[in-house]
Amino acid sequence: MKRRQLIQVCSLTAVALAAPLALAQSAPFKIGLVLPMTGQQASTGRQIEAAARLYMAQNGDTVAGRKIELIVKDDTSLPDVTKRLAQELIVNDKVDVLAGMGITPSAMATAPLATQSKTPLVVMAAATSSITNASPYIVRSSFTLPQVSVAMGDWAPKNGIKSVVTLVSDYGPGNDAEKYFSERFALNGGKVIEKLRVPLRNPDFAPFLQKVRDAKPDALFVFVPSGAGAAVMKQFVERGMDKAGIKLIATGDVTDDDQLNDMGDGALGVVTTHHYSADHNSALNKKFVDAFQKANKGMRPNFMGVGGYDGMRIIYEALKSTKGKGGGDALLAGMKGQVFESPRGEVLIDAQTRDIVQDVYLRKVEKKNGQLYNVEFDVIKAVKDPGKEK
Ligand code: DHB
């Protein structure tokens, strides 16, 4: 072969080899976002979708040469539907990543599908400790109930609270909150008088609160999922619990930023522990809150919104780490060990547990410029999920 011919053959081969790669790179990268857009957890879906879209508006919809396609599906807050939609997204849409998961049963129902199909599943809301054990393809951008409940078990006895009744929604995260708060509170010399559990679906808090009144603890410790806090607060005040000398303490799910401002002055002074407040004092958070409100008719972002925003960050950076190639295992590797500044503060995706390590704050409901906020007054730095330490 003459030299010129050889060069021609070589360059043709190079073009032939590069063509499928170029095609694959230009194919869209699909994120299947399964959320409760309707039903009992609708506020979670609304927050996470808004945050995901904000992240894309701010960071572009092309990453490492791949166009990002966000496919949002409404699971109506029912885990059987979450599972069916996830299956369809994997088989029919051939999504590269699954994300969302408004409640623990949805994440648990989807976990085996992520494992079988080697599809990374970014859990942006659900917060039972054991979720990340349910599949090696799960990465979490939200939080865990043990992570935030232990902090209250330390704070309460140091602040004059010696006896408590616990009241939690009767499923994974509620059971975690009850266990980890109670254990730590007892370790610090506190007494848990009674442990009450309310159903997740359509709870009526009235009979439970009557029991609490009769038991006369120093405080009532509450966990209910995002969206249910306002009902608890209303009943607590209506039944005159605060006037009877019973304090309300809770995880920040109860004084949810999505509802807090409408809860009224009865919420003033309530102390909670959580990983995110819209009032968090950082330049990045102020920018995030402003942009979120501007894009969503003034809606204030809550901890679910932040879980969605950071979850998108985790996916974008993982795709970049594969130079646009993707692939379940490569993406997962790119998600593990990410360290970054979130609107909530510094976070790490623990490479071993695939769970989020983050600061946990003590906060008190206060009025600022006429609006109710969870104002942070103390912080426990870099908290790992205590549920993984046993
Ligand atoms: C879960 C749901 C919530 O809305 C919340 O605030 C915490 C946990 C859950 O189902 O895991």
The pLDDT of residue 358? 98
What is the tens place of the pLDDT at every residue in 184-238?
999 999 999 999 999 999 889 999 999 999 999 999 999 999 999 999 999 999 9
For the Cβ of 225 lying below 6 angstroms from any atom of ligand 1, the answer is yes
pLDDT mean over 101-118: 98
Nearest CA-CA partner of 308 in 38, 55, 119, 74: 55
For the Cβ of 127 lying below 6 angstroms from any atom of ligand 1, the answer is yes
Q: For residue 227, give the ligand 1 atom closest to its CA.
A: 4
pLDDT mean over 121-137: 98
Report d(CA 46, CA 284) in Å as an integer. 22
Q: For residue 228, give the ligand 1 atom closest to its CA.
A: 4
User: Model confidence at 5, in pLDDT bands (50, 70, 90)?
Assistant: low
pLDDT mean over 117-138: 98
For the Cβ of 253 lying below 6 angstroms from any atom of ligand 1, the answer is yes
- What's the gap in Å between 300 CA and the centre of ligand 1? 18
- What's the gap in Å between 27 CA and the centre of ligand 1? 35
For the Cβ of 307 lying below 6 angstroms from any atom of ligand 1, the answer is no
Task: State yes or no: pLDDT of 146 exceeds 60.
Answer: yes
User: Model confidence at 18, in pLDDT bands (50, 70, 90)?
Assistant: low
Question: 8 or 38, which is more confident?
Answer: 38
For the Cβ of 173 lying below 6 angstroms from any atom of ligand 1, the answer is yes
pTM of the model: 0.94
Residue 164 is classified by DSSP as E
What is the tens place of the pLDDT at every residue in 298-345?
999 999 999 999 999 999 999 999 999 999 999 999 999 999 999 999
**Cβ–Cβ under 8 Å, residues 252 and 295:** no
What is the tens place of the pLDDT at every residue in 62-87?
999 999 999 999 999 999 999 999 99
User: Model confidence at 26, in pLDDT bands (50, 70, 90)?
Assistant: confident
Best mutation site among 40, 101, 103 for ligand 1, i.e. most ligand atoms within 8 A of its Cβ? Answer: 103
The pLDDT of residue 202? 87
Task: State yes or no: pLDDT of 125 exceeds 80.
Answer: yes
The pLDDT of residue 226? 98
Give the sign of the dihedral formed by CA 188, CA 257, CA 43, CA 138. Answer: negative
For the Cβ of 44 lying below 6 angstroms from any atom of ligand 1, the answer is yes
Report d(CA 93, CA 343) in Å as an integer. 32
Q: Which two tokens stand for residue 130?
A: 């054991």
The pLDDT of residue 8? 57
Report d(CA 217, CA 239) in Å as an integer. 15
